[in-house]
Each structure stands twice: as C-alpha cells, then as structure tokens.
Amino acid sequence: MNIKEYIRPSSLDEAYESLTKKEGAVVIGGGGYLRLGAKDIEVAVDISNIHLSFVNERKDLIEIGAMTTLREVEVNSAIKQSFNGILCEAVKPILGVQMRNIFTIGGSVYGRYGFSDVITALLALDTYVELYKGGRMTIEDFLNKKDNEKDILTKIVILKNRKGSFQSIRSTSTDFAMLNAAVSKHENNFKIAVGARPGIAKLSNKAMEYLNAAELNEENAVKAGEIAADSLEFGSNTRGSAKYRKEVCKALVKRGVLEVI
Ligand SMILES: Cc1cc2nc3c(=O)[nH]c(=O)nc-3n(C[C@H](O)[C@H](O)[C@H](O)COP(=O)(O)OP(=O)(O)OC[C@H]3O[C@@H](n4cnc5c(N)ncnc54)[C@H](O)[C@@H]3O)c2cc1C
C-alpha cells in the first residue's frame, strides 16, 4: 500500500476538512482491511489522535468510540456483562488477538463488509451509529444509506435493553464465517439478523413478526428459523453454496432463539 500524503489530525473538524477537501482522501481506522491490497492512497487521514478510543457505560446504554479495537470490545467488562455478552462472542472468532488489537469497531461498521460478524451482532441490538456530519441514525438506516458522501464514524451507541445470542459457522477457526446469525429479545420483541449470506447482514422481519406473536417454545424456534431461511436471500461463494447457507440459517436462528428464550 502506497500512501502519497499522510495526515494525523488532532481534531474531528480538521479530519473532516481534510477528508472532504482533499481529493482521494480516506480515513484509516486500524488499517487492517485497507492494507490487504496493494493500493495507492492519495491522502490517508489517520484518526488515531482524536481520542475516539473509549467505552462509556451509562445507565441505559453503552457508547463505543470508533477507534476502540475489537480486542477491547471482547474484554471490556461493561460490554461483556451487557446483551448476554453477544458482542464479545461475535468478535472472539475474528483471526487472532494480534489482529483484534488492530481492527477497530469504526472500520468494521463503516466498511460494511458482507462477511462481518460485528455488523450482524450490532444489527440484532438497538444500535445507533454516530457520524460526524450525518449525525445519529440506526445501524439499519446506516447500512441502507445509498449516498456516498464522505463522513467519519465517531461512535456506536447501544441500548442495554436486549439479551442476545450470536451464532456462526466456519470451515476452520479464524476463517470468515460461512454464515452468522444473531438473535435478541427485549420483553416480547425479537430481532433476528443473518449475515455472511454472503451479502451484508439483514434482519428477517417476517421471522421477527412471527416470533413476537408466538408462544416461546422449541417448535416456534424451529419455525422462526424456517421463516428466516425462506425470507432472506443467500448466495454462493468458495465458503458455501446458497442452498447450504439456507439450511444452516435454519439451524443458527433456531439455536439463537432457544438460547435467548
Ligand atoms: C484477514 C482478515 C480477516 C478478517 N476476518 C474477519 C471475520 O472473520 N469477521 C469479521 O467480522 N471481520 C473480519 N475482518 C474485518 C476486521 O474485523 C475489520 O472489520 C476490518 O479490518 C476493518 O477494520 P479496520 O479498523 O482495520 O479498518 P480500516 O481497514 O482502517 O478501514 C476500513 C474501511 O473503513 C473506513 N473507516 C475506518 N474507520 C472509519 C471511521 N471511523 N469513519 C469513517 N470511515 C472509516 C476506511 O476508510 C476503510 O474504507 C477481517 C479482516 C482481515 C484483514
């Protein structure tokens, strides 16, 4: 990776100004994914000097700064004790500790990677994404956003109301997930997200509606898995065929629902 100009601003104002005014400027989070290719980067805006690495626990929510590493997400006691530990479970299988010490939650969300375990878990929680210019929005709206306007993700805000379960299946440990799923519950309201389809994680609204009105038992957990598998689209790649992913979806959603109830 060749970087022509490297900037390390000390304020968000300065970072945003460089990002939007300089042609070809990109934000560097952990730089873990960016450096995979032999890219030429015109201007690298390194945001590691802006104090965006933090975890703040409030009464009803947890705020995670964009530069917080996935390792910190994994071991932070407030995050571990919230949502049934779903976020810790989601990041644990990602490569090794050394890489999780580099990857950031901001880069993981902003990258909108189809294989992401992080996005699947966050989508099943009541999660908000805060952008410097674009302000606060639900993670679902962020993922569906069509404009390509440059912005800086500053933090993730998660309400502490839900209990969750994260499930994934991998051919070998540390590989990308062949499929992942996250289920959460708050009172009688379920959220079911399925990712690595291999497209980006999506909620199965049909399975959620079914479960919200159903008696909570194993039979209905199985049914929710079947509805999720029928209502979402799956594709094929080297990690699995669409047909296989659809079958695995039934099992992962069922397991998630059973764990949560
Ligand atoms: C070999 C490998 C295996 C992986 N396996 C998995 C896996 O199994 N599961 C999984 O969930 N993830 C996996 N990942 C992804 C990883 O967890 C991170 O999501 C990824 O590296 C991006 O995080 P980063 O901090 O390195 O971001 P970077 O590489 O720095 O940036 C990624 C993108 O986001 C932009 N960006 C970064 N931070 C911000 C910000 N704050 N605001 C605006 N834009 C920003 C960058 O400009 C770039 O476009 C893997 C990555 C690699 C390299």
Q: Tokens at residue 242, please? A: 């669409």
Same domain, 24 and 113: no
Which range marks the domain in which residue 233 is found? 164-260
Same domain, 190 and 250: yes
Same domain, 41 and 111: no
Rounded-to-integer distance, Cα 129 and Cα 154, Å: 8
26: domain CATH number is 3.30.43
60: domain CATH number is 3.30.465.10
Same domain, 230 and 252: yes
Same domain, 201 and 254: yes
Same domain, 188 and 137: no
- Domain count along the chain: 3
In angstroms, what is the span from residue 183 Cα to ligand 1's centroid? Answer: 23
Q: What is the chain's length?
A: 261
Same domain, 28 and 80: no
Report the run of H or E that residue 245 belongs to, with start and end. helix 242-260
Q: Do 23 and 42 form a contact (C-beta atoms < 8 A)?
A: yes
In angstroms, what is the span from residue 161 Cα to ligand 1's centroid? Answer: 27
In angstroms, what is the span from residue 155 Cα to ligand 1's centroid? Answer: 15
Rounded-to-integer distance, Cα 111 and Cα 129, Å: 13
Same domain, 17 and 68: no
Q: Tokens at residue 241, please? A: 């065929």
Q: Which residues line ligand 1 (CB under 6 A)?
A: 26-34, 36, 47, 66, 70, 94-95, 103-104, 106-108, 110-111, 115-118, 152-153, 176
Tens of pLDDT, residue by residue, the chain (261 residues): 899 999 999 999 999 999 999 999 999 999 998 888 778 999 999 999 999 999 999 999 999 999 999 999 999 999 999 999 999 999 999 999 999 999 999 999 999 999 999 999 999 999 999 999 999 999 999 999 988 899 999 999 999 999 999 999 999 998 999 999 999 999 999 999 999 999 999 999 999 999 999 999 999 999 999 999 999 999 999 999 999 999 999 999 999 999 999
Cα Rg of the chain (Å, integer)? 18
Same domain, 19 and 82: no
In terms of Cα–Cα distance, which of 20, 22, 17, 21 is closest to 5?
Answer: 22
Same domain, 31 and 60: no
CA triple 107-108-112, angle to 5 deg: 100
Residue carrying the six token digits 């590493």: 69
